[in-house]
A and B are shown apart, each in its own frame.
Chain A
Amino acid sequence: MSEMALQALFVLGCSHHETPLEVRERLALTPERIPALLQELKKCPDFSESLALATCNRLEIYAYAKNDNASQSIQKILCNSLGIKNDFLETHAYQLQNLNAIQHAFSLAAGLDSQILGETEILGQMKQALATAQASKNTGALLNRLFEKSFQAAKIARTQTGIDKGHVSIGNIAADLAKRIFGKLETSRVLLIGSGDVGQRTAKALKNRGVRDLTVTNRTSQNAQELAGQLHAGDLPFNQISSTLHEFDIIISSTAAPNLILKQEDLLAANRLRPAQPFFLIDLALPRDFDPNLEQVENCYLYNLDDLATIANENLARRNAECEPAQRLLNNQAWQLWLQLRRRSLVPIVGSENI
């Protein structure tokens, strides 16, 4: 395969790096609309392979062009599909070619291009995009190889660097701490006080890590019942918190209450009933719901929003420090793929230097 042919590998897209949220809203593509877009791309005679990747932070089209018109054709199809003008797309979109496109795909798979550095969700989204494109027969040898190699490179980068070490979301950090206290979370009983968004996410993160017994309580019993229904949890009358405290291991609070909900004497009373078992208290409310003095109670571990945010920031800083070595490693992997593609004549010779 000549260098000419590989100049036809390109990616056109927009992401959170260059475009504000209101622009990304206009460029958003729901999963239901992707098969139709792929069909349109497949019909186009200007490229032989194509793939669409749509996430909440980016929209990208990967393609292998047959001629000079491929880029314009993709822009046209995309504008039609999204109902936007070509100028608007051109203002916000970026194009990468050949080795740069390979490097971009590798960085993307490793989470280096993600809003939350090192996150792994993008890898699943890329796999899904590849599966969808393969199902509609939009991809061929080149894009299949590019994506498979991206997944491998991402795995190498994650294994050999600390790019995904340490969680950066409050829910996952709380779940990590819970595991440091209780080990297996299957038998831990969780009480969620209030219906704050962060509290709900933390409860969900704990459920994802194995918690089976979740109870919800709220000042308004109807809200508690609704939330319990959403989270497949039980509900508890708000005035019974103190009397049933000893039955729970993890207590999350995210209410808008102006006063303390849990005082030291409540916890001391509960602690006397189960002195050998620890309490994990997660106070996600502002103003705080739990008495700060609870920290001094034996066998009780109290974390507030600031504590969790500090851990998140430290983890993020560690990931940032790993960014450069990970990028070097990925660039090296991308260069090897680029050489392989050049050497092995993977695809027929077509394309243009201008693409």
Chain B
Amino acid sequence: MLENLDLRDRNLFLAATIFYGLAACLALYRILRSKPYPRTGLLPLMAIAFLAQTLALNLRGASVGGCPLGNPYEVSQFISWSAVLLYFIIGPACRLRLLGFFTAAFSAILGLSATLLATWDYTYPAGRYGGEPWIELHAALAIFSYGVLTILALVSAMFLLQQHGLKHKHHKGVYALLPSVQQLDTMAWRLLITGTICLSAALIFGALFWLENPDRVPLLKLIMTGVVWLGYLLVVTLRLGKKLVTRYHAYAVISLFIIALLALWPVQTARQPDAAQTQPAQ
């Protein structure tokens, strides 16, 4: 029976998106109906989605002969995968209620966007960076840091929501389920430090590749990644000096995350070898 299934990477990515969407819808339905949060229902759905996504990334990696980070479609899938992986790691330890719902919803939206925007999945030469250990390490660390920064943005959004509820005297539904503002603030700070360290490490390894191959790294990519990194570094510095706290901190990290996501476009455009190779991958 299994051999009849069409286990191509795009189908698996789509299946993962559907399961993330189901998990998010289940949680949302329960929240809106004031029913207990469905932790036990959410985890299996997310686990199935994660497994499908892992398999899809593996298949895509095998076909491109390296880490599948060659176009925006693959990068979106990798960021989503990385965020869910991080959720599975920190979720049980930190016991942040609703983080699963937010992560599933984010992954579903990102997956859906990537699926609908067919031009994102353009083809590129297989093994473009194959055999370059620095660039593989740089890419893996950068995507992991994006996963951390995704969770950071979600936690910050949860913080803003809880703070809004408390300030405006809302106490039902999602507000009653969200973790405390102090828990969210502490978690956001830890994620900011982790994300910035990972991003810095990714840039250091990327810089080693750049020093050896200056003409292979486009200037636009250098500028955009530098701007994002400096942005996070500035937020860390201001937070350490207690100059940027609470909702301003949350606004800053969410804005930076949106900039970081938007920065992927010029980065990928800069990497795109030529217009002739922009057909969707099959």
What is A's interface to B at a CB cutoff of 8 Å? 162, 165-166, 176-177, 179-183, 275-278, 295, 298-299, 301, 303, 307, 310-311, 314
Interface flag for B167 (CB, 8 Å) = yes
A136 CB to nearest B CB, Å: 40
Beta-carbon contact of B169 and A303 below 8 Å: yes
Beta-carbon contact of B245 and A275 below 8 Å: yes
Please, which residues of chain B bring their CB within 8 A of the CB of A179?
180
Beta-carbon contact of B180 and A183 below 8 Å: yes
Which of A165, A181, A314 sits near B182, CB closer than 8 Å? A181
Q: In this complex, which of A165, A181, A276 has the most chain B Cβ atoms within 10 angstroms of its Cβ? A: A276
B residues 142-181 touching A (CB-CB < 8 Å): 162, 165-167, 169, 171-172, 175-176, 178-181
Beta-carbon contact of B183 and A183 below 8 Å: yes
CA–CA, A176 and B178, complex, Å: 12
Beta-carbon contact of B180 and A181 below 8 Å: yes
Beta-carbon contact of A295 and B167 below 8 Å: yes
Whether A182 touches B246, Cβ cut-off 8 Å, given contacts A162-B34, A310-B169, is no
Which of A298, A307, A311 sits near B246, CB closer than 8 Å? A298
A189 CB to nearest B CB, Å: 13
CA–CA, A276 and B186, complex, Å: 10
Which of A182, A275, A298, A307 sits near B180, CB closer than 8 Å? A182
CA–CA, A301 and B170, complex, Å: 12
Please, which residues of chain B bring their CB within 8 A of the CB of A301?
166-167
A168 CB to nearest B CB, Å: 12
Q: List 6 A-B contacts (CB under 8 A).
A: A180-B165, A180-B178, A181-B180, A182-B182, A275-B246, A303-B169
Interface flag for B242 (CB, 8 Å) = yes
Beta-carbon contact of A177 and B183 below 8 Å: no
Beta-carbon contact of B247 and A298 below 8 Å: yes
Please, which residues of chain B bring their CB within 8 A of the CB of A311?
169, 171
Beta-carbon contact of B246 and A299 below 8 Å: yes
CA–CA, A310 and B165, complex, Å: 15
CA–CA, A183 and B180, complex, Å: 5
CA–CA, A278 and B166, complex, Å: 11
A65 CB to nearest B CB, Å: 43
A183 CB to nearest B CB, Å: 4
Interface flag for B185 (CB, 8 Å) = yes
Q: Closest A residue to B189 by CB, please name it.
A: A276
B residues 40-88 touching A (CB-CB < 8 Å): none
What is B's interface to A at a CB cutoff of 8 Å? 34, 162, 165-167, 169, 171-172, 175-176, 178-183, 185, 242, 245-247
Whether A278 touches B181, Cβ cut-off 8 Å, given contacts A299-B245, A301-B166, is yes
CA–CA, A310 and B170, complex, Å: 11
A210 CB to nearest B CB, Å: 13
Which of A165, A176, A277, A307 sits near B169, CB closer than 8 Å? A307
Pairs of residues from A and B, 5 with the lowest C-beta to C-beta distance, nearest first: A183-B180, A183-B183, A276-B245, A299-B246, A301-B166
Please, which residues of chain A bring their CB within 8 A of the CB of B185?
276
Please, which residues of chain B bring their CB within 8 A of the CB of A314?
171-172
CA–CA, A310 and B171, complex, Å: 11
CA–CA, A100 and B165, complex, Å: 44
CA–CA, A179 and B182, complex, Å: 10
Please, which residues of chain A bring their CB within 8 A of the CB of B182?
181-183, 277-278
Whether A275 touches B167, Cβ cut-off 8 Å, given contacts A162-B34, A180-B180, A298-B247, is no
Whether A180 touches B162, Cβ cut-off 8 Å, given contacts A276-B185, A307-B169, is yes
Which of A176, A180, A275 sits near B242, CB closer than 8 Å? A275
Please, which residues of chain B bring their CB within 8 A of the CB of A307?
169
A100 CB to nearest B CB, Å: 32
Please, which residues of chain B bring their CB within 8 A of the CB of A295?
167
Beta-carbon contact of A180 and B166 below 8 Å: yes
**Extra pairs beyond A180-B175, A276-B245, A278-B182 (4, CB < 8 Å):** A180-B162, A183-B180, A183-B182, A311-B171
A214 CB to nearest B CB, Å: 19
Please, which residues of chain B bring their CB within 8 A of the CB of A276?
185, 242, 245-246
Please, which residues of chain B bring their CB within 8 A of the CB of A165?
34
CA–CA, A180 and B182, complex, Å: 8
B129 CB to nearest A CB, Å: 42
Q: Closest B residue to A187 by CB, please name it.
A: B182
CA–CA, A182 and B166, complex, Å: 12
Q: Closest A residue to B245 by CB, please name it.
A: A276
A1 CB to nearest B CB, Å: 40
CA–CA, A43 and B167, complex, Å: 62
CA–CA, A181 and B165, complex, Å: 11
CA–CA, A82 and B200, complex, Å: 80
CA–CA, A298 and B247, complex, Å: 9
CA–CA, A188 and B114, complex, Å: 45
Q: Closest B residue to A249 by CB, please name it.
A: B182
Which of A162, A181, A275, A310 sits near B166, CB closer than 8 Å? A181
Please, which residues of chain A bring their CB within 8 A of the CB of B246?
275-276, 278, 298-299
Q: Closest A residue to B165 by CB, please name it.
A: A180
A219 CB to nearest B CB, Å: 30
